[in-house]
Amino acid sequence: MKVAVIGLGQRGSNYIRIISLFCKDIEIVAVCDKNKVITDQIAKKYKVEKKFYDEKDFFGAGKLADAIIVATQDRDHIRHCNLAIDNGYDKILVEKPVSPIIEECVALQKRAEEKNISIVVCHVLRYSKYYKKIKEIIQKGIIGDVMTINHTENVGYFHYAHSYVRGNWRDSSVTSPMIMAKCCHDFDLLQWFIDKKCLAVSSFGGLSYFRKENMPKGAADRCIDCKVECPYNAMELYITDPLHKATFLRFSGRILTGKSGSTKEERIEALENGNYGRCVYKSDNNVVDHQIVNMLFEGGVTASHTVTAFSKNFYRRTHVCGTKGEIIGNDLDGKLTVNIFKGKSKTIGTKWIKGLGHIDGDINLIKDWCKLIQGKLEDDKDVTYLSHTIPSHKIVMTAEESRLQGGKVLDID
Ligand SMILES: NC(=O)c1ccc[n+]([C@@H]2O[C@H](COP(=O)([O-])OP(=O)(O)OC[C@H]3O[C@@H](n4cnc5c(N)ncnc54)[C@H](O)[C@@H]3O)[C@@H](O)[C@H]2O)c1
């Protein structure tokens, strides 16, 4: 089976690597990215037959494969999915968020239904062993009926600064509101776990800290010229931090320089001139650095989700409260504690790969999708089809609207 990919950034290249490692019966036959260097590097590395540097040429060439992966940026997904459909693709894997404009998501779903097109959204967390285990425990009824879920996404101070102050997702008008860009996975999980309709939401939050007025006295506009001791020092985060402190930032040379295998000198030059070397208090960011969303579901079930920049590590913490017991877990170590009220407590390990984020979810998503497009997936009930994503995307955007209205309670729909 042949697959084409548009968008060869972090996500697109990650999926190509996973296919090449784990899905030997899938062939990547065409790639497209407006970054010529990356496109050439990937086409060469994976021996891809056709490469394109412009979406017009890529889609102008007609249907190049049996299926397509759309891994471009947030506001491009809808256009690229529609162009793929125009060209006859009927199997699409699209990155999240599908779009921050709900009407666009609904129109795409309508088109997909009419033409019998399979669109799967990359809600990778659902495919990880850790989150699958939570769903399995809930489904088995071990903790009774779910009444409340408290969920927190700790973005990590360095990850937040990288993506939401200096990086791609710092301006909501260009990408998405932060609650959509970062947390649409979390709302997908909450919707999946609770499996009831969300009726209303209320949300507070804002951009409180990463602002000019909080710039330390004597700080420079760029870290490279700065003498102030600071956890956001780009030179340390990207270049000199010792390996034991290594975060994904140490492996982000490509994001800094726009190509793989950059030298230290090239990375330093990128910090001298590019977005990632800017003082975090003097960027052009406008997205929130913390937000809370309260939700009411059918049957009086409630849930809350908090996202915050202010944590040392990046991980999610989940507390599912049922009528007979509770599940408490964090995906930092992948351990789940199940407490049954009139029974024993049990701690379950889920083989979460520490420090590598949701890599097992990424791998399982791709493996499942590859089986799905070949008609070999036995059970597709938990596949993250676009139709499953729309309800959780609606919660997210209604929550954002509530935040903008000072926390006003808003009905979904
Ligand atoms: N599923 C997840 O867990 C997850 C995690 C992070 C990001 N994302 C989402 O995945 C998407 C991609 O994120 P990323 O981190 O790979 O970003 P990225 O910026 O590294 O990659 C996007 C790529 O698309 C290319 N591109 C942009 N417009 C194009 C066009 N018109 N034609 C061809 N190429 C074009 C860019 O040059 C870039 O290489 C985003 O929507 C992001 O929100 C998903």
105 and 241 both lie in a single domain: no
- The answer to whether 234 and 277 have CB atoms below 8 angstroms apart is yes
> Ligand 1: which of 73, 175, 186 to mutate, most ligand atoms within 8 Å of CB?
73
252, 277, 302 — which closes off a domain? 277
In a domain, 374, yes or no: no
Please work out whether the CB of residue 162 comes within 6 Å of at least one atom of ligand 1. Answer: no
242 and 169 both lie in a single domain: no
In a domain, 377, yes or no: no
Domain of 72?
Answer: 2-121
Per-position b or e across 197-211, b if 16+ CB within 10 A of its CB: ebeebbbebebebbe
Give the closest residue (by CA) to ligand 1 atom 17: 9
CA distance 71 to 42: 14
Spacing, Cα 10 to ligand 1 middle (Å): 7
Q: Identify any residues that bridge with 154 across adjacent strands, giving them in sequence order.
A: 308, 315
CA distance 91 to 93: 7
pLDDT at 73: 96
Number of domains the chain is built from: 3
72 and 171 both lie in a single domain: no
Atom of ligand 1 lying closest to residue 254 CA: 20
Please work out whether the CB of residue 362 comes within 6 Å of at least one atom of ligand 1. Answer: no
In a domain, 368, yes or no: no
In a domain, 193, yes or no: yes
205 and 315 both lie in a single domain: yes
144 and 61 both lie in a single domain: no
For residue 406, the domain's CATH number is 3.30.360.10
Atom of ligand 1 lying closest to residue 55 CA: 32
Q: Give one DSSP letter per residue of 62-100, joined into a string.
A: ---SSEEEE-S-GGGHHHHHHHHHHTT--EEEEPSPS-S
pLDDT at 250: 59
117 and 86 both lie in a single domain: yes
Atom of ligand 1 lying closest to residue 80 CA: 31
Please work out whether the CB of residue 125 comes within 6 Å of at least one atom of ligand 1. Answer: no
Q: List pLDDT tens digits, range 192-206.
A: 999 999 999 999 999
153 and 298 both lie in a single domain: yes
**What distance, in Å, lies between the first and last C-alpha atoms of the chain?**
40
In a domain, 175, yes or no: yes
23 and 96 both lie in a single domain: yes
206 and 248 both lie in a single domain: no
In a domain, 6, yes or no: yes
- Report the run of H or E that residue 18 belongs to, with start and end: helix 10-22
318 and 388 both lie in a single domain: yes
In a domain, 113, yes or no: yes
Please work out whether the CB of residue 180 comes within 6 Å of at least one atom of ligand 1. Answer: no
Atom of ligand 1 lying closest to residue 35 CA: 37
89, 104, 121 — which closes off a domain? 121
In a domain, 157, yes or no: yes
| CB atoms inside a 10 Å sphere around CB 373 | 20
Please work out whether the CB of residue 372 comes within 6 Å of at least one atom of ligand 1. Answer: no
177 and 303 both lie in a single domain: yes
- The answer to whether 137 and 143 have CB atoms below 8 angstroms apart is yes
94 and 152 both lie in a single domain: no
pLDDT at 248: 60
- Report the run of H or E that residue 290 belongs to, with start and end: strand 290-297
Task: Mark the ranges of the chain whose per-residue pLDDT is less than 70.
Answer: 242-253, 352-357
pLDDT at 253: 67
85, 105, 121 — which closes off a domain? 121
